A = this chain, B = another copy of it.
């Protein structure tokens, strides 16, 4: 722990505890780092930060660190990294492939998937996808914010949007693709996941209108695809994605691991 300024600083807190910021640079004891423009704005104008105030930092590689505002000029904030609070920890290897949907929007799905521990999110365009553009930078900003607030030590990778057929052409068949199939005949997701061998996985959720017969046929023909159903009611695409992520984390993921 540092002396001096540190003694008069506050802990910058929000409901989840000491404020957390995601930064790209390496983190180690004594290093100086600079927050991003958005974080600078947030520290100054929302948190009303002063020199000596403490925050937490993570970068997805070096664990979680306490840092203090060492200097604050009109142009920049300098944070001094102090002690490590938690060692680095990865999220389970679980991807989400989701068709962007118009109603609640893919921003919402990205935020919830980040909370539910997805390691990678890949927007896919399917035959019935209405949305034609995905703002990659905005999705990444949502993913970072959700990671900061959920106490994750990683930020999910956000892939550029691709067509479903392109995603399947490049597929590594050692990764199981869990296909939320409302077409009937598939086993219930919980039973299917408990019976499946442990391996990297991805969840595929469709657009508002679901998958076409041709897409279903294509998916059913792949050895790595595990079709599942989520009960007798029809779930909206976003609800299905979140329910499948939660089930996977409970059965195959890290919900069993001890709390922080």
Contacts and interface: CB of A to CB of B under 8 A. Distances in A.
Interface string A210-241: 10000000000000000001111111100100
A234 B150 contact: yes
B233 A152 contact: yes
A250 B192 CA distance: 11
A76 interface: no
Given A190-B255, A247-B250, A15 B231 contact: no
A243 interface: yes
Interface stretch (A32-40, A59-67, A110-118): A110-118
Contacts of A150: 233-236
Interface string A244-259: 0011011101111111
A260 B232 contact: yes
A116 B184 CA distance: 17
Interface residues of A, number: 43
Interface string A85-108: 000000000000000000000000
A188 interface: yes
| Interface SS, A side | loop
A242 interface: yes
B115 A233 contact: yes
A184, A191, A210, A234: most-surrounded residue (chain B CB, <10 A): A234
A253 B256 CA distance: 22
Contacts of A191: 256
A208 interface: yes
A112 B239 contact: yes
A259 B229 contact: yes
A165 interface: no
Contacts of A16: 234
A16, A149, A231: most-surrounded residue (chain B CB, <10 A): A231
Nearest to A108: B104
12 contacts: A15-B208, A15-B210, A117-B231, A117-B233, A150-B236, A231-B250, A231-B257, A232-B255, A242-B243, A243-B243, A243-B246, A247-B247
Interface of A: 15-16, 112, 115-117, 149-152, 184-185, 188-191, 208-210, 229-236, 239, 242-243, 246-247, 249-251, 253-260
Given A116-B239, A116-B243, 17 more contacts: A15-B209, A112-B239, A115-B236, A149-B236, A150-B235, A151-B233, A152-B233, A184-B259, A188-B250, A229-B259, A230-B246, A231-B255, A232-B258, A242-B246, A246-B246, A247-B247, A247-B250
